[in-house]
Amino acid sequence: MASLFARKPLEKLIAESHEIGEHSLKRSLGPVNLVALGIGAIIGAGLFVRTAAAIADRAGPSVVLAFMVAGIGCAFAGLCYAEFASMIPVAGSAYTYSYATMGELVAWIIGWDLILEYAVGAATVAIAWSEYFNRVLDWFGLRIPYQWSHSPFEIENATGLHGWINIPAVFILLLLTALLIRGTKESALVNGLIVVLKVTIVLMVIAIGWGFINPANHTPFIPAPTTYVTPQGIHHAYGGVLGILGAAGVVFFAYIGFDAVSTAAQEARNPKRDMPIGILGSLVICTVLYVLFSYVLSGLATVEDFRTHGREASVAFAISNYMPGYEWLSKSVTVAILAGFSSVILVMLLGQSRVFFSMSCDGLVPKTFSDVHRRFRTPYKSNMLFFVFTALFAAFVPEDVVGEMTSIGTLFAFILVCAGVWIMRVRQPHAERGFRVPALPVVAILGIITCGAMVYGLGWTNWARLIVWLLIGLIFYFGYGKSHSRISAPPPEMPEGISLAE
């Protein structure tokens, strides 16, 4: 039983990060690429969709405070991620860090948990991308028929038509998977162009929309505590402290980008310097934009507007109805959402393949997931397998799946990273760190408390789903991973001139 908690030695992790051969990734990312990678994943579905959902169901105008709470929790976790990423420049993110500090079983749980965050999240965002793609086609008098753009479980109210398969969702997954196989640097370039577009439009909404804010929509800024029942019959705590915490848990989905940055550590040119910049830089920029954007959006329209006019159309609706003369901005937001979804999918697919790359190198999942393309130096087989998985999900399953479930999985990973950096500081106090978390263990403890409070705010139904998902993962671990683990294998030889202190 002790082997369940066997830790992967730091020396072995460092040696693997410098290993050159058929399982090595190409180091091609600089600090600007990494910051853009983070922004690419952070600004997307969360800002344009989850903000409206949080206003409607949980917090009203106090969604601004919810973003601050989520941002604070991310800041604590981000500092811990930055120390780990500068210390262990290996693909795998929270999975790798947990393996080094809390042992193999905890690492497996986190690796399995990250499927929830990345692969299932990518499929769900692809479904949303499909809906927005049809909206853009509408501008030109075109439309993909309902049957070919919805799952078999969906029915069009007006005509009674059943969906068959969501082809646009599969198409965007295929396109972005091909881009990832072609190379991380090329993917980062495309992501960077999308980031410039998204941030420009977000800044325009903030700057122009500020003059249209109706102070009455911000009164009271923190609604009195009550219960809101959604049209689907789901009960949510609305207003007060619980409403803010619940909304923070909902919008936390929007913050997973900096976590995705850490999965690319093995492809950073100078990870000890660049990873902290990428993680903390993207987090700071996006938190400021989120707080300002949510303040403007909640001031433009009423809470009732967000409840009755469709979650995904809420931003465009608010602009069209409360900012006369700016219909072009409403259409620009639709384009930004479409581009934003694309970059979120791209970074999620990247993150998932890199987590499984690390797990495969450790023997916990089959070797296929760590096979690297001879020319492109990317885990192409893993990319293709995850395309099949996500495409099946996106093609045949309706959209009302992830959201809060993804948030709780991410929060769980953040809690373990905060605990792990504290444990590593105690066990390996003299190991070289390119970045050190200030005021440890205070920062780690505050990160655990803040993230734990948001988990509490998401409610027992999400706790139950997470537990069921983790139980399924344990079946896979004991059925395959434990017997194939390479934890006892000798570390690869350190290349000449490289030492643990480097």
Domains, the chain: 2-484 (1.20.1740.10)
Distances in Å between the Cα of 436 and the Cα atoms of 259, 362, 441 are: 17, 27, 12
**What CA–CA distance (Å, rounded) separates 186 from 193?**
11
Is the Cβ–Cβ distance between 259 and 410 less than 8 Å?
yes
Q: Closest Cα partner for 263 from 168, 367, 379, 145?
A: 379
pLDDT value, residue 240: 92
pLDDT attached to residue 206? 94
Ranges in the chain, pLDDT < 50: 1-2, 20-23, 401, 491-502
If one counts every other C-beta atom within 10 angstroms of the C-beta of residue 400, the result is 11
**pLDDT, tens digit, 9 for 90 and up, residues 197-242:** 888 888 999 999 999 999 999 999 999 999 888 776 778 889 999 9
Q: What is the pLDDT of residue 241?
A: 92
Peptide bond into 398 cis (omega under 30): no
Inter-residue contact 457 to 59 (CB < 8 Å): no
Which of 351, 353, 366 has its CA nearest to residue 486?
Answer: 366
CB 287 within 8 A of CB 251: no
Q: What is the pLDDT of residue 218?
A: 95
What's residue 62's pLDDT? 95
Q: Which helix H or strand E contains 26, and what residues bound it?
A: none
DSSP symbol at 210: G
Q: What is the pLDDT of residue 492?
A: 46
Q: Are residues 37 and 264 in contact, defined by beta-carbon separation less than 8 angstroms?
A: yes
